[in-house]
Chains A and B, each alone.
Chain A
Amino acid sequence: MTPLDPPNPPLTRKDFTSDQEVRWCPGCGDYAILAAVQRMLPELGVRRENTVFVSGIGCSSRFPYYMNTYGFHTIHGRAPAVATGLKLANPQLDVWLVTGDGDGLSIGGNHLIHVLRRNLNLQIILFNNRIYGLTKGQYSPTSLLGKRSPSSPMGSVDNPIAPAAFALGCGARFVARGVDTDAKNLINTLKRAHEFQGTGFVEVFQNCPVFNDGAFDHFTAKDVAAQQQLHLEHGKPMRFGDDKGLRLRPGSLDIEVVTVGENGVTEADLLVHDETNRSQAFLLANLDPPTFPVAVGVLFRSDENLVPFEVGMHEQNKQARARGLGDINALMRKGHTWKVDADPSADPAG
Chain B
Amino acid sequence: MDTFASTNSTTQRELIESVVIRFAGDSGDGMQLTGSQFSDTTALMGNDLSTLPDFPAEIRAPAGTTFGVSGFQVHFAAHDIMTPGDAPDVLVAMNPAALKVNLRDLKPGGLLVVNTGAFTAGNLKKAGYDKNPLEDSSLDGYRLLKIDITKHTLQSVESFGLGNKEAVRAKNMWTLGLMMWMFGRERDSTAEWLRGKFAKSPNIAEANIAALNAGHVYGETAEMPQGIHAYEVPRARLQEGHYRNVTGNEATAWGLLTGGKLAGLELVLGSYPITPASTILHYLSNLRAYGITTFQAEDEIAAVCAAIGASYAGSLGITTTSGPGLALKTEAIGLAVSTELPLVVVDVQRGGPSTGLPTKTEQSDLLFAVYGRNGDCPLVVLAASTPGDCFTMAVEAVRLATKYMTPVILLTDGFLANSAEPWKIPDINSFEPFPVKQRTDPAGFHPFLRDPQTLARNWAVPGTPGLEHRIGGLEKNYDSGNISYDPDNHHKMVKVRAAKVAGVADDIPLQKIDQGEDSGDLLVVGWGSTFGAISSAVLGARKAGLKVSHAHIRYMHPMPKNLGEVLKRFKHVLVPEMNNGMLVKILRSDYLVDARGLNKIAGQPFKIAEIEAEIRGLLASS
Contact = CB atoms under 8 A, between A and B. Distances in A.
B543 interface: no
Nearest to A310: B293
B298 A70 contact: no
Contacts of B46: 338, 340
B298 A343 contact: no
Secondary structure class of chain B's binding surface, majority of residues: mixed
Contact of A331 (B43, B254, B311, B463): B254
B245 A82 contact: no
B40 A69 contact: no
Nearest to A334: B244
A82 B427 CA distance: 35
Contacts, number: 208
Interface string A52-87: 101001000000110111111111001011111111
Nearest to B341: A72
Given A70-B462, A340-B239, A81 B468 contact: no
The range of chain A's interface size is 35 or more
Given A75-B335, A85-B317, A90 B462 contact: yes
A340 B305 contact: no
Nearest to A107: B301
A113 interface: yes
B483 interface: yes
A332 B254 contact: yes
Contact of A338 (B243, B305, B429, B483): B243
Interface centre among A78, A88, A346 (most CB of B within 10 A): A88
A339 B482 CA distance: 57
Interface stretch (B120-128, B283-291, B401-409, B522-530): B283-291
Given A93-B462, A343-B240, A75 B332 contact: yes
B276 to A, nearest CB: 21
A343 B40 CA distance: 22
Given A72-B470, A81-B301, A326 B312 contact: no
Contacts of A83: 309
A349 interface: no
B305 A82 contact: yes
Nearest to B304: A81
Contacts of B297: 81, 84, 114
B114 interface: no
B319 to A, nearest CB: 10
Given A333-B244, A342-B240, A321 B313 contact: no
Contacts of A326: 287, 289-291
A88 B295 contact: yes
Contacts of A73: 470-474
Nearest to A61: B472
A20 interface: yes
A39 to B, nearest CB: 18
Given A68-B468, A73-B472, A340-B241, A89 B301 contact: no
Given A20-B482, A68-B468, A75-B473, A89 B314 contact: yes
Interface residues of B, number: 71
B470 A82 contact: no
Contacts of B270: 81, 85
Contacts of A78: 301-302, 305, 332
A48 B46 CA distance: 61
Nearest to A47: B465
Q: Which of B239, B317, B470, B474 has most A Cβ within 10 Å?
A: B470
Interface string B20-56: 0000000000000000000010011010000000000
B614 interface: no
Contacts of B43: 336, 338
A338 B302 contact: no
A68 B474 CA distance: 18
A291 to B, nearest CB: 37
B306 interface: yes
Contacts of A254: none
Nearest to B257: A328
A49 B243 contact: no
Interface stretch (A146-154, A187-195, A272-280, A312-320): A312-320
B469 interface: yes
Given A70-B470, A74-B335, A81-B309, A325 B289 contact: yes
A340 B287 contact: no
A338 B44 contact: yes
B428 interface: yes
Interface of A: 18, 20, 47-50, 52, 54, 57, 64-65, 67-75, 78, 80-90, 92-93, 110-111, 113-114, 313-314, 316-317, 320-321, 323, 325-326, 328-329, 331-333, 335-343, 346
Given A111-B298, A325-B290, A340-B240, 7 more contacts: A20-B483, A71-B471, A81-B297, A83-B309, A84-B297, A88-B310, A343-B240
18 contacts: A49-B462, A49-B467, A64-B470, A70-B469, A74-B473, A81-B309, A84-B305, A85-B268, A85-B270, A85-B317, A89-B293, A89-B314, A90-B315, A110-B298, A326-B290, A329-B427, A333-B242, A336-B44
Interface of B: 40, 43-44, 46, 189, 237-245, 254, 257-258, 261, 266, 268, 270, 287-291, 293, 295, 297-299, 301-303, 305-315, 317, 331-332, 334-335, 339, 425-429, 462-474, 482-483
